[in-house]
Amino acid sequence: MKYISLQNTNYKKTFREAVLQGMAPGNGLFFPEHLPQFDTLFFEKARKLKLHELAAEVLWPYVSDDFSRNEIDAITQEVFSFDIPLKQVEKNIFSLELYHGPTLAFKDVGARFLSRCMQRFAGQTKKRVLVATSGDTGSAVAHGFYNIPNIDVFVLFPKGKVSKLQQKQFSTLGNNIQAIAVGGTFDDCQILVKQALGDEKYRHELGLTSANSINIARWLPQSVYYYWAYLNLPQQFNKLTFAVPSGNLGNLTAGVLAKHSGLAIDRFIAATNANKVIANYLENGEYKPHSSRQTIANAMDVGNPNNFSRMLQFYNRQFNMLSAHIEGASYSDSDILGWMNRCYRNTGYKLDPHGATAYASLKETDLADGEAGVFLETAHPAKFIREIQDKIDYEVDLPEKLVNLMNKKDELVEMEANYDTFKAYLVNQS
């Protein structure tokens, strides 16, 4: 399997090259040259598989030029080592809980897979991963790469602007993970990372790379849990709708990939918060990016989703075809709070603000007889509701993983948002 650039389809790379490169020139996203097809026989056999075995089957066609079967088996066994339960919330509504990994959010899946791929591709050469974070990505990447030999991770975050819990998640690990508190905003952090990665000679000398969410190795493994949900659904259902809390559309487009490989998904709902570029696009075909708006589902505060071009590619840029498979929905903060409380009152199930948008979209759509609605619960409620606890009718205990974390000591360096300082620091660390 080769990967083409969506900016220039003559530009083709192997999986290995695409992973190490991250993006094609001109900010082109990599996309599989053809889509593997799974047939009925595959799905019959797949029912007997464990999650990590299923992951190896689904991912094998994408990586078979660069990994041996043993390697992908080993990688998927490490990556998919936590549960992804499908819980029935109502008669025809299910929650796919993607938050049982180390940082309690779905990004663990992609970050862990990327780290294992990079480790194998980097071999004996030292790599340094730079990541700017406004909170969630930093922790998933830090944990994904924790203790991976020969790879150091530098997490840049705006000092005093991420939650205490989020900061603890990447600043207490130590070893190969270094947290850097930058005196500035998230954008300042991102600029420092871009400057370093754009510094060709220096990037090469220090083996600098990014763990960006559009990296093909973060994107592809996310399609696995759509198969898993389908296979775990009670068999009386004969139609399936997935509702996906969406920001950059990585998660949603990974589901669309599964559908285009033969998985029987009837439709998708892209559920968003007040950042409704995609919901608007799906309604009227006009794509109007804007700067992001702050909401209580902050991991979805995206005004210009960076996987949009992948979404178009599946439908050859035909809006009519695309909008026949994917619907949009958007919710204000007060809508989200309302649905969180209503869901708890009616079912006892505790949503987080991100999953709540997707749950709401299923409640507001018509589910036919025999149709199941599955929403992706992308984060553990404890991770996000502390900030809005006074507006929620329920409490959520901090999972043990997080309680232990709160007692650990942060280790970080502080730095001004200045490229020369950052560069000198990195050179000094090498």
Nearer to ligand PLP among residue 57 and residue 108 (C-beta): 108
| Smallest separation (angstroms) from ligand PLP to the CB of 413 | 26
| Smallest separation (angstroms) from ligand PLP to the CB of 149 | 27
| Smallest separation (angstroms) from ligand PLP to the CB of 309 | 14
| Smallest separation (angstroms) from ligand PLP to the CB of 408 | 22
Nearer to ligand PLP among residue 128 and residue 169 (C-beta): 169
CA distance linking residue 167 with residue 354, whole number of Å: 20
Nearer to ligand PLP among residue 122 and residue 326 (C-beta): 326
Backbone dihedral angles phi then psi of residue 147, each to the nearest 5 degrees = 65, 15
Tokens, residue 249: 């559309």
Nearer to ligand PLP among residue 128 and residue 213 (C-beta): 213
Give all strands of the β-sheet with 127-132 in edge-to-edge order: 208-210, 127-132, 151-158, 177-183, 412-416
Nearer to ligand PLP among residue 252 and residue 415 (C-beta): 252
| Smallest separation (angstroms) from ligand PLP to the CB of 136 | 4
Nearer to ligand PLP among residue 107 and residue 350 (C-beta): 107
Residue of 123, 95, 97 lying closest to 109 (CA atoms): 97
Nearer to ligand PLP among residue 143 and residue 354 (C-beta): 354
**Triad 372, 327, 83: Cα angle to 5°:** 45
For ligand PLP, the binding residues (CB under 6 A) are 105, 107, 136, 245-252, 299-300, 354, 378-379
| Smallest separation (angstroms) from ligand PLP to the CB of 70 | 30
Strand segments, DSSP code E, in 164-305 are 177-183, 208-210, 239-245, 267-272
Which helix (H) or strand (E) is 94 found in, with range? Answer: strand 93-97
| Smallest separation (angstroms) from ligand PLP to the CB of 9 | 24
Backbone dihedral angles phi then psi of residue 190, each to the nearest 5 degrees = -65, -40
Q: How many CA atoms lie within 13 A of 421 on its CB side?
A: 12
Nearer to ligand PLP among residue 191 and residue 254 (C-beta): 254
CA distance linking residue 210 with residue 360, whole number of Å: 35
| Smallest separation (angstroms) from ligand PLP to the CB of 214 | 10
Radius of gyration of the chain (CA): 21
Contact 94, 233 (CB under 8 A): yes
Per-position DSSP letters for 202-218, written without gaps between them? HHHHHTEEE--TTSHHH
